[in-house]
Amino acid sequence: SAKKEGRNRYSFFTKEMQARSTRTLLLENSLHDAIDANELSLNLQPQMDLKTGQVIAAEVLLRWNSHRLGTVSPAEFIPIAEDTGQILAIGEWVLRETVKLLKQWLEQGITPVRLAVNLSVVQFRTQDLPALIGKLLEEYQVPSHLLEVELTERGAMTNPDRAIETIRAFDQMGVQTSIDDFGTGYSSLSYLQRFSVYKLKIDQSFIRNMTTDTNDYAIVNAVITLAQQLGMKTIAEGVETKEQLEQLQQLDCDQIQGYYLSRPIPPKEFKDQFLTLNRLRQALN
């Protein structure tokens, strides 16, 4: 009967919800000692300048290999860490490790590239990030232009005035800001103009089908034109094919990032594959 069916559906629903919250609790508990247990690491994904073909920067992407749970995607654990506030300690750890890595490269006589760190809106809301980052750069004697921060469009728009103020403080320190996942966060154009950001990262959902879907193509085209008008650079995220790369080049997009160039890889691999190569190219020119 309909009534019975309804009850069954209800009990199924609660079981699913319970399973989900059990997983969440497990993740929460395991995250508590992830830093101390050495379970976190950084991967780097190169960003290429489309005019020169040079790798000019890399995005820092957090990885968690839990003893208990195995590999957990940041897409799953970052939102939980944001809910519990654990993102503050984790975010600080990512920043410190990134600055330490830059320091190591400098000490090894390697010409570094700028590293872009993802910042959570929870960090933006609760911490004095410019002060924290300034302190780290000073502690390790790393020049500020080697660090970039990414804030999602959605995050920026949850408190635009706070975002504007913080981005301005970064700008004054020489730390560049990018707006991540651009096109998915409903920012008003008037705010966008007031964010003194360095570049817009065009969300990969628009890049995915841009070579076949005329709407996606039009959006990518419009974002690039808008950025040019506002004096911002553009980077396309999630570039996986040569066709996408070529179209982006035609549209005058500045930079690309994606599997076509490289997956996110450990820092050692990144150094061997991209930094050493950059140095050889420079030596030839």
Confirm or reject binding of residue 283 to ligand C2E (CB under 6 A).
no
Nearer to ligand C2E, 4 or 23 (CB): 23
Q: Is 183 in the site for ligand C2E (CB under 6 A)?
A: no
- Interface stretch with ligand C2E, choices 137-145, 184-192, 244-252, 257-265 (CB under 6 A): 257-265
Measured CA to CA, the distance from residue 168 to residue 163 in angstroms comes to 8
Please, what is the angle between helix 129-140 and helix 160-173, to 10°?
A: 20
Is residue 148 a contact residue for ligand C2E (CB under 6 A)?
no
Plot region of 196 (φ>0 → left; ψ -120 to 50 → alpha; else → beta): beta
Q: Give the residue among 150, 173, 128 at the shortest CA–CA distance from 45.
A: 150
- With CB under 6 A as the contact rule, which of the stretches 20-28, 73-81, 167-175, 275-283 interacts with ligand C2E? 73-81
Please select the residue that binds ligand C2E; options are 235, 238, 253, 265, rule is CB under 6 A. 238
Kindly tell me which residue out of 50, 94, 179, 197 binds ligand C2E, with binding defined by CB under 6 A.
Answer: 94
The backbone region for 173, taken as left when phi is positive above 0, alpha when psi lies in -120 to 50, beta otherwise, is alpha
Positions 33 through 72 that interact with ligand C2E (CB under 6 A): 45, 61-62
Q: Comparing C-alpha atoms, which of 42, 48, 62, 43 is closest to residue 237?
A: 48
The Cα–Cα gap between 266 and 41 comes to 8
Does 264 participate in binding ligand C2E (rule CB under 6 A)?
yes
- Helix or strand or coil: residue 158? helix
| Residue number with CB closer to Mg ion (39 or 150) | 150
Residue 264 binds which entry of ligand C2E, Mg ion, none, with Cβ cut-offs from 5 to 8 Å by kind? ligand C2E
Question: To 5 degrees, how large is the angle CA 204–CA 230–CA 256?
Answer: 30
Tokens 């981005």 found at = 167
Q: Which is nearer to ligand C2E, 50 or 94 (CB)?
A: 94
The window from 118-126, 164-172, 184-192, 273-281 that contacts ligand C2E (CB under 6 A) reads 118-126
Residues in touch with ligand C2E (CB under 6 A)? 45, 61-62, 73-75, 78, 91, 94, 118-120, 180-181, 204, 237-240, 258-259, 264
